[in-house]
Structure 1
Amino acid sequence: MNLSDRLKDKTLFKTQSYFGGEWHSGAKTFAVDNPANRSKLADVSDVGADGAKAAIAAASEGFKIWRKTSPFERTRILIKWYNLINENADDLATLITSEMGKPWAEAKGEVAYGSAFIEWSAQEAVRIHGETVTVPFPGTRGWTLHQPVGVVSCITPWNFPSAMITRKAAPALAAGCSIVIKPAPETPLTALALAELAHRAGFPAGVFNVICGNAEDLGPVMIGSPEVRMIGFTGSTEVGKLIMRQAADGVKRVALELGGNAPFIVMDDADLESAAAGVAQAKFRSGGQTCVSPNRIIVQNGAADPFLELLEAKIAKIKAGDGFDSGSDIGPLIHDEAVARVDQLVKDAVAGGARVRVGGQPLADELGGSFYAPTLLEGGNFDQAIARSEIFGPVASVYRAKDEKEIIELANDTPYGLAAYLYTRDIGRVHRMSEGLDYGMVGVNAPMVGSASTPFGGMKESGIGREGGKWGVEEFTELKYVLLAGVNS
Structure 2
Amino acid sequence: MYDNFGLFSGGSWISGAAAGDVYSPVTGASLGKVALASAAQTRAALDQAAAAQAALRAIGGFARADALHRAADEMIRRTDEGARMISLETGKPIAQAGREWVLACDQFRWYAEEARRIYGRIVDSRVPGGRFEITHEPVGVVGAFTAWNFPAALPARKLAPALAAGCPVVLRPSSQTPGVAMVIVDCLRAAGLPDGSVGLVVGSTADTYAPIMADKRVRKVSLTGSTRVGQQMIRDAAETVKKVSMELGGNAPLIIFDDADLEAALDLSVATKYANAGQVCVTADRFFVHESLHDAFVEGFTARAAKIRVGDGLDPETGMGPLINAGRLAEIEAIVADALAAGATLKHGGRRPAHLNTGHFYEPTILTEVTDDMRVFAEENFGPIAAITRFSTEDEVLARANASDMGLSAYAFTRSPERARRVTAALKSGMVGINSFALAASEAPFGGTNHSGMGREGGSEGIQDYLDTKLAQILF
- The alignment's TM-score, normalised by the length of structure 1, stands at 0.96
Aligned residue type for 2:62: F
Find the residue that maps to 2:116 and give its secondary structure: helix
Further displaced range: 272-281 or 13-22: 13-22
Aligned residue type for 1:181: L
| Equivalent residue in structure 2 for 1:89, among 79, 83, 106 | 79
The residue that corresponds to 2:39 in the other structure is 49
1:128 aligns with 2:115: no
The residue that corresponds to 2:430 in the other structure is 440
1:371 aligns with 2:367: no
For 1:258-407, list aligned pairs within 5 A: 258-363=248-353, 366-407=356-397
| Equivalent residue in structure 2 for 1:205, among 173, 195, 200 | 195
Distance 1:390 1:362 in 2: 20
The residue that corresponds to 1:479 in the other structure is 469
| Equivalent residue in structure 2 for 1:174, among 161, 164, 167 | 164
The residue that corresponds to 1:183 in the other structure is 173
Over the aligned positions, Cα root-mean-square deviation in angstroms equals 1.1
Query: Is contact 1:15-1:42 (8 Å) kept?
Result: no
Distance 1:388 1:25 in 2: 44
Distance 1:134 1:198 in 2: 41
| Equivalent residue in structure 2 for 1:462, among 438, 444, 452 | 452
Aligned residue type for 2:245: A
Further displaced range: 303-312 or 231-240: 303-312
| Equivalent residue in structure 1 for 2:131, among 127, 132, 141 | 141
Cα displacement string for residues 382-427 of structure 1 (whole angstroms, at most 9, x for unaligned residues): 1111112111111111011111111111111110000001100111
The residue that corresponds to 2:140 in the other structure is 150
Structure 2 runs not aligned, ≥5 long: none
Structure 1 runs not aligned, ≥5 long: 1-9
Distance 1:275 1:242 in 2: 38
The residue that corresponds to 2:218 in the other structure is 228
Query: Is contact 1:364-1:370 (8 Å) kept?
Result: no
Cα displacement string for residues 19-53 of structure 1 (whole angstroms, at most 9, x for unaligned residues): 11122223221100111011211111111211110
The residue that corresponds to 2:230 in the other structure is 240
Task: Identify if the C-alpha distance between structure 1 residues 365 and 31 changes in structure 2 by more than 3 Å, giving closer, same or farther.
Answer: farther
1:77 aligns with 2:47: no
Aligned residue type for 1:193: V
Query: Is contact 2:5-2:13 (8 Å) kept?
Result: no
The residue that corresponds to 1:429 in the other structure is 419
Cα displacement string for residues 271-298 of structure 1 (whole angstroms, at most 9, x for unaligned residues): 0111111211221111100110111011
| Equivalent residue in structure 2 for 1:119, among 109, 113, 121 | 109
The residue that corresponds to 1:6 in the other structure is none
Aligned residue type for 1:218: T
Distance 1:360 1:446 in 2: 27
Cα displacement string for residues 296-341 of structure 1 (whole angstroms, at most 9, x for unaligned residues): 0111111111111111111111111000111100111000111110
Distance 2:313 2:98 in 1: 11
Q: Could you tell me how far 1:363 is from its partner in structure 2?
A: 2.8
Aligned length: 476
| Equivalent residue in structure 2 for 1:33, among 23, 38, 49 | 23
Q: Could you tell me how far 1:251 is from its partner in structure 2?
A: 1.1
Distance 1:223 1:452 in 2: 28
Aligned residue type for 1:440: G
Cα displacement string for residues 232-290 of structure 1 (whole angstroms, at most 9, x for unaligned residues): 00000000010011101111100110000000110010001111112112211111001
Q: Could you tell me how far 1:134 is from its partner in structure 2?
A: 3.0
Stretches of 4+ moved more than 6 A in 1? none
Distance 1:228 1:378 in 2: 48
The residue that corresponds to 1:59 in the other structure is 49
Find the residue that maps to 1:399 and give its secondary structure: strand
Query: Is contact 2:352-2:363 (8 Å) kept?
Result: yes
Distance 2:68 2:283 in 1: 30
Aligned residue type for 2:57: R
Cα displacement string for residues 56-92 of structure 1 (whole angstroms, at most 9, x for unaligned residues): 1100011121011121110110000001001100001
Distance 1:309 1:136 in 2: 68
Instruction: Give the share of equivalent positions with the same residue, in percent.
Output: 37
Query: Is contact 1:14-1:193 (8 Å) kept?
Result: no
